[in-house]
């Protein structure tokens, strides 16, 4: 059946005569779609945010750093500071060959001034080993030099890898590689400018770990140990390894192996597994809430369409008395339902997408810094909902509204005009 101009005119006239009814129908549709888009978009934003934190890091890695004891042990009081050292690094590399991959030590000196002429930058100076870039999200582009290598480590070279912002501040667009900078009175040769995930805000500079120990008189002290693991593909295996590793540390530093405060182990794989479990729970919860929200919209549309058909029973009787066919009346109801539901569904979809995009702009690239400087996370990123998914929801509401109006309308147009005119 062709859609004639007079049908459009009738629909517009009906909407104008029943503004409140049309608004309530449209609001039910728009609100259901809006809430569903916001819920799904927010869920996707949270998931994408968490996933981005693992995208450029080795998830099978552990970072270890010393803390304070919370238990007495062998006559020693609690509260002792546990300082990692070279022996811990050696034990890590030699005592766990089945489960430790690449490993490296880290020393960090905060608030160091890197200068070149009259320009300067204040940042952290981090002593690392070449394996650092295999675990953490730092890379050196092809034309920007190199990272710390084994020869730098062996010869305790005074070389440095700097952040792009540091290079721009100190060298004003000139090539920094091969130039010298001053770090609190000590000259370092720039061997590389690294590329960093844009969502991280630190501006660290890297030097060879052995150079940091030597120049800054750290002796055999280590701030952190970072290594990758292998063969620990379940949480149970990871927990067993962590316990064995702590026992080795406890034997060397003489603290209770059950003292959870003496040393801290940040096991990214365990955290990653926990994240996957949480992701599944959140996704299920979002879909359950979203479906019930959508169903509330369906119920709202259905109820309003049922009321609409009942209110217009007399109108249908008049139309039939004037010669209108039952099919034309049905088509009028269906088309009106489709137009209202689609229009307001689109408004709800646009509103939901706009809100999630605003949320993305508000939270994107913000880090949640916990007690240590390496625990930085993006919490909200790319809260997208597929266009096909959003349109599917609108189609579902259109079908629900159409069916809700079709069956009572079909029954109404089948009665005789005189009976329809008598209907309350």
37 close to 220: Cβ distance less than 8 angstroms: no
119 close to 174: Cβ distance less than 8 angstroms: no
- Taking residues 372-384, what's their average pLDDT? 54
From 353, 351, 372, 371, select the one nearest 361 (Cα to Cα): 353
Per the prediction, the chain carries an average pLDDT of 81
How is the chain split into domains, by residue range? 5-56+272-422, 68-99+230-261, 101-222
Q: List b or e across 186-215, with b for residues whose CB sees 16 or more CB atoms inside 10 angstroms.
A: eebebbbbbebbebbeebbbbbbbbbbbeb
Lowest-confidence range among 3-12, 164-173, 212-221, 273-282?
3-12
Is the pLDDT assigned to residue 75 strictly greater than 60? Answer: yes
Confidence of residue 368 (pLDDT cuts 50, 70, 90): very low
pLDDT of 369 reads: 39
C-alpha distances (whole Å) from 370 to each of 39, 52, 179, 211, 376 are: 27, 17, 36, 29, 7
pLDDT digits (tens, 9 = 90+) for 136-194: 888 888 789 999 999 999 999 999 999 999 999 999 989 999 999 999 999 999 999 99
Confidence of residue 51 (pLDDT cuts 50, 70, 90): low
Give the residue ranges of DSSP H helices in 183-267. 209-215, 235-253
Beta strand 119-128 with 205-208: parallel, antiparallel or unpaired? parallel
The residue to which tokens 């137009």 are assigned: 339
Q: If you average pLDDT over each of 142-151, 294-303, 365-374, which comes out highest?
A: 142-151
Lowest-confidence range among 21-25, 47-51, 183-187?
47-51
Is the pLDDT assigned to residue 4 strictly greater than 60? Answer: no
pLDDT of 17 reads: 73
The residue to which tokens 């080993």 are assigned: 129
């Amino acid at each position: 059946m062709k859609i004639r101009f007079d049908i459009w005119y009738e629909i517009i006239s009906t909407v104008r005569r029943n503004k409140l009814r049309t608004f309530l129908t449209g609001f039910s549709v728009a609100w259901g779609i809006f809430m569903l888009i916001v819920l799904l978009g927010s869920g996707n934003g949270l998931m994408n945010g968490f996933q981005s934190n693992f995208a450029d890091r080795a998830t099978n890695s552990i970072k270890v750093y010393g803390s304070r004891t919370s238990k007495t042990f062998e006559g020693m009081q609690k509260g002792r500071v546990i300082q990692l050292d070279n022996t811990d690094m050696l034990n890590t590399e030699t005592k766990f060959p089945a489960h430790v991959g690449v490993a490296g030590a880290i020393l960090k000196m905060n608030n160091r001034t890197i200068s070149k002429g009259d320009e300067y930058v204040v940042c952290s100076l981090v002593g690392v080993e070449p394996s650092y870039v295999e675990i953490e999200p730092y890379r050196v582009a092809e034309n920007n030099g190199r990272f710390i290598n084994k020869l730098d480590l062996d010869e305790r070279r005074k070389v440095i890898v700097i952040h792009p912002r540091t290079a721009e501040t100190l060298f004003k667009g000139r090539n920094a590689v091969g130039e010298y900078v001053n770090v609190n009175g000590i000259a370092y040769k720039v061997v590389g400018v690294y590329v960093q995930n844009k969502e991280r805000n630190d501006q660290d500079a890297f030097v060879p770990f052995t150079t940091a120990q030597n120049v800054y008189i750290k002796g055999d002290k280590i701030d952190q140990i970072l290594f990758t693991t292998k063969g620990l593909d379940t949480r149970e295996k990871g927990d067993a390894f962590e316990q064995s590793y702590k026992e080795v540390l406890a034997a060397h530093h003489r603290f209770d192996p059950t003292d959870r405060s003496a040393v801290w182990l940040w096991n990214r794989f365990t955290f990653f597994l926990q994240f996957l479990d949480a992701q599944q729970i959140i996704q299920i919860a979002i879909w359950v809430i979203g479906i019930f929200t959508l169903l509330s919209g369906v119920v709202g549309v259905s109820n309003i369409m049922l009321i609409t058909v009942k209110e217009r029973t007399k109108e249908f009787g008049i139309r039939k008395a004037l010669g209108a066919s039952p099919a034309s009346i049905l088509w009028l109801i269906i088309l009106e339902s489709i137009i209202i539901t689609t229009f307001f569904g689109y408004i709800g979809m646009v509103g939901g997408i706009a809100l999630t995009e605003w949320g993305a702009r508000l939270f994107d690239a913000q880090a949640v810094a916990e007690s240590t400087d390496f625990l930085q996370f993006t919490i909200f990123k790319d809260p997208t909902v597929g266009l096909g998914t959003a349109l599917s929801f609108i189609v579902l509401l259109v079908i629900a509204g159409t069916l809700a109006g079709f069956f009572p309308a079909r029954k109404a147009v089948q009665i005789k005009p005189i009976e329809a005119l008598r209907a309350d």
